[in-house]
Amino acid sequence: DAGVIQSPRHEVTEMGQEVTLRCKPISGHNSLFWYRQTMMRGLELLIYFNNNVPIDDSGMPEDRFSAKMPNASFSTLKIQPSEPRDSAVYFCASSLGLAVTKTQYFGPGTRLLVL
């Protein structure tokens, strides 16, 4: 079974550039989550969707960050303009709904380095 797919796996960009991270959830999963992991702050939830609708974006750090889910099989996380402090590993996860008993399955992550 294909798990959560993220692309690219690695991204190196220069400050000020736009960065787009992509995620394909597990087929049939209707909830999708974006997390960020840094050494300083650990794993943080940025935003999550249910049935393609954003439910909670309170973890999005700034207006430079935006996320969309145009359909059930695709989501993007965009940073514009990027800054060196955005360097982190970004994880996407999906689940069969938001109930507490529904397990979230994580992708392999995108390692972003902003120079």
Partner 1 sequence: DAKTTQPPSMDCAEGRAANLPCNHSTISGNEYVYWYRQIHSQGPQYIIHGLKNNETNEMASLIITEDRKSSTLILPHATLRDTAVYYCIVRLDSSSNTGKLIFGQGTTLQVKP
Interface positions with partner 1 (CB under 8 A): 4, 31, 33, 42-45, 48, 50, 55-56, 91, 93, 95, 98-101, 103-109
Between 85 and 102, whose beta carbon lies closer to partner 1?
102
State in angstroms the smallest separation of the CB of 48 from partner 1: 5
Q: How far is CA 88 from CA 32, 83, 97, 102, in A?
A: 19, 11, 27, 27
State in angstroms the smallest separation of the CB of 66 from partner 1: 19
Given the structure tokens 């689940």, which residue do they identify? 95
43: which 2 tokens? Answer: 């794993």
Peptide bond connecting 8 to the previous residue in cis, omega within 30 degrees of 0: yes
Between 55 and 64, whose beta carbon lies closer to partner 1?
55
Structural contact between residues 58 and 104, judged by C-beta atoms closer than 8 angstroms: no
State in angstroms the smallest separation of the CB of 74 from partner 1: 18
State in angstroms the smallest separation of the CB of 103 from partner 1: 5
